[in-house]
């Protein structure tokens, strides 16, 4: 959970968030690129969640497994939900939805790391 993949996900999500918030500030609707970029980050997050799920069957299970599972489901569903809502909103607010999602994703990843660091071993 603490590998370079999490760091990469957090950095990429934050960079994309800055871009999307700028786009919203400039009053642009989500372009194909904006949606695809968010989808790419969602894929990165999905891989991260998959790795975490595989880790659940290993030796170092987080002691708070229920919370961890809840966060995993939320995290993997986050990007797709934002993209779905943004597609219904072809205005600047669509980009703001995507931007907010990309701001919250790093928080979710950090929370996952926090919960995962307390293990039953």
Partner 1 sequence: MPDSPAPTRTRPADAALNTGLGRLLLFVYGVFALSASARALVQIATHFSEARLAYLLSAVAGLVYISATVGLAVGGERGRLIALVSCSIELLGVLIVGTLSVADAVAFPDDTVWSHYGSGYGYVPLVLPFIGLWWIWRHRPQS
Q: Which of 22, 90, 110, 118 binds partner 1 (CB under 8 A)?
A: 90
Angle value at C-alpha 42, between 111 and 35, nearest 5 degrees: 130
Q: Which CB sits closer to partner 1, 13 or 94?
A: 94
- Under DSSP, the state recorded for 119 is B
Task: Check residue 104 for interaction with partner 1 (CB under 8 A).
Answer: yes
Show contacts with partner 1 in window 50-69 (CB under 8 A). Answer: 66-67
Residue 121 sits in the site that holds partner 1 (CB under 8 A): no
CB of 85 closer than 8 Å to CB of 97: yes
Burial of 9 (0-12, 13-18, 19+ CB in 10 A): buried
Q: Hey, is 62 helix, strand or coil?
A: strand
Nearer to partner 1, 60 or 87 (CB): 87
Is the CB of residue 9 less than 8 Å from the CB of residue 48? yes
When the beta carbons of 5 and 104 are compared against partner 1, the nearer one is 104
Q: Which stretch binds partner 1 (CB under 8 A): 4-12, 13-21, 24-32, 54-62?
A: 24-32
Q: Does 96 bind partner 1 (CB under 8 A)?
A: yes
The answer to whether the CB of 29 falls within 8 A of the CB of 92 is yes
Interacting residues with partner 1 (CB under 8 A): 27-29, 31-33, 66-67, 70, 74, 81-82, 85, 88-94, 96-97, 100-101, 104
């Amino acid at each position: 959970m603490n590998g370079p993949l999490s760091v990469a996900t957090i950095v990429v999500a934050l960079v994309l968030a800055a871009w999307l918030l700028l786009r919203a500030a400039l009053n642009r609707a989500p372009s194909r690129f904006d949606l695809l970029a968010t989808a790419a980050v969602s894929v990165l997050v999905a891989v991260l969640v998959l790795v975490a799920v595989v880790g659940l069957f290993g030796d170092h299970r987080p002691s708070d497994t229920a919370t961890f599972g809840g966060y995993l489901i939320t995290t993997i569903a986050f990007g797709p939900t934002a993209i779905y809502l943004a597609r219904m909103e072809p205005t600047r607010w669509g980009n703001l939805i995507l931007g907010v999602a990309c701001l919250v994703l790093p928080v979710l990843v950090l929370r996952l790391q926090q919960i995962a660091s307390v293990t039953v071993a």
